[in-house]
Amino acid sequence: MGILEVKDVNKRFGGLQALGDVNLSVAENTCHAIIGPNGAGKSTLLNCLVGKLIPDTGSVMFDGQSVLGRTPFEINQMGISRVFQTPEIFGDLTVMENMLIPCFARRDGSFALHGIRSVFSEGELRDQAEQMLEEVNMLDKRNMHSASMSRGDKRRLEMAMCLVQNPKLLLLDEPTAGMARADTNNTIDLLKEIKEKRDITIAIIEHDMHVVFSLADRITVLAQGTPLVEDTPENIKGHPKVKEAYLGEAA
C-alpha cells in the first residue's frame, strides 16, 4: 500500500478524454517520476491530486484518506506540497516573509487570527525559516524583495517554502523547466540531499530525462491519458513501448 493511491481515475474535458483509467501507487519514501509526451495528461493528473480538479470517476487516497472533494489548502494540510512549473511565490513579500507563511500554515492550520503579535516575535518559526533558507543557501537573501530575484532563486525559494512544511509528499511539476544546466544540476543535488536527509516521498513530473534518471526510484509513463508502463528507471530505459511512445522521438 503506497502513500498515494490513484485508482481508476477518469477525467473528461468536453469531448476530450484527458485521463482514462489511471492507476498509480507511490510508495512511501521513494521518488516516483511521471513522464510522457506533451498532452499526455501529466498536469491534469497532478491537478487531480491537489484538489484543483475533481476526477469524474475513480479515487485518490493519500495516507489512507481520500483527497477528493477537498480544497487545495485542505490537501496541503494533509501533507502534500506542490512546486509549480513557473515558480509561484509571494512576489510582493520579502524572502523571509515568504518562508514564514508556510511555517505559520504548518503550526496554526488553515486559518488563525493572530492579529496583534508581531511577525518577528515568533522566534521559533523564524529559526525554522532561517534554517531552511540556510539549507538552500539563501540566508543572505532573506530581506530581499522576492519578486526581484532570478528565476533560479525563485524556484529554490518555492522549494524551500514547500520543504519547510515538512510535507509527506512533495509534488514537483517540471522543477527544472527553463533552467540552465548548472542550475539543473544544483537542483538535482538539492533534491537528492532532501531525499537522503528526510522521510519524504517525491512525485515528479519532468521532461528532462537526465533529471528523471538521476532521481527517480520508479517511473510511470503516461500517454494519451493512460499509464503505459510503470517500472524502475533501468527497465524503462529499454522498454520498447516507451521508446515508441516517447523516448523514440526524444532520442
Summarize as ranges the residues that interact with another protein (CB under 8 A): 50, 71-73, 76-77, 81-82, 84, 88-94, 97, 100-102, 104-106, 109-122, 145, 161, 165
Determine the Cα–Cα distance for residues 57 and 109; give it in Å rounded to an integer: 30
Cβ proximity to another protein: between 36 and 51 the closer is 51
CB of 51 to another protein, least distance (A): 9
Q: Distance between CA atoms of 215 and 233, rounded to whole angstroms?
A: 9
Strand order across the 65-66 sheet: 16-26, 4-13, 57-62, 65-66
Q: Which is closer to another protein, CB of 31 or CB of 83?
A: 83
Nearer to another protein, 81 or 184 (CB): 81
- The nearer residue to another protein, 133 or 221, going by C-beta atoms, is 133
Give 172's strand partners.
Answer: 83, 204
CA geometry: angle 88, 90, 91, nearest 5 deg: 95
User: Residue 218, SS3?
Assistant: strand
**Helix/strand/coil for 172:** strand
Task: Say if CB 219 and CB 24 are below 8 A apart.
Answer: no
Nearer to another protein, 10 or 77 (CB): 77
Question: What's the min distance (Å) between Cβ of 93 and another protein?
Answer: 6
Paired residues of 205 in beta bridges: 34, 173
Complex with another protein: residue 90 or 213, whichever CB lies closer: 90
Least distance from C-beta 169 to another protein, angstroms?
A: 13
What residue type is 166 in one-letter code?
N
| Nearer CB in complex with another protein: 104/213 | 104
CB of 113 vs another protein, minimal distance in Å: 6
What strands lie across the sheet with 218-223, from one edge to the other?
A: 80-83, 169-173, 201-205, 31-35, 218-223, 226-231
Q: Does residue 43 sit in helix, strand or coil?
A: helix
> CB 97 → another protein: shortest distance, Å?
6
Query: SS3 for 137?
Result: coil
CB of 198 to another protein, least distance (A): 18
Amino acid at residue number 1: M
- Shortest distance, position 107 Cβ to another protein, whole Å: 10
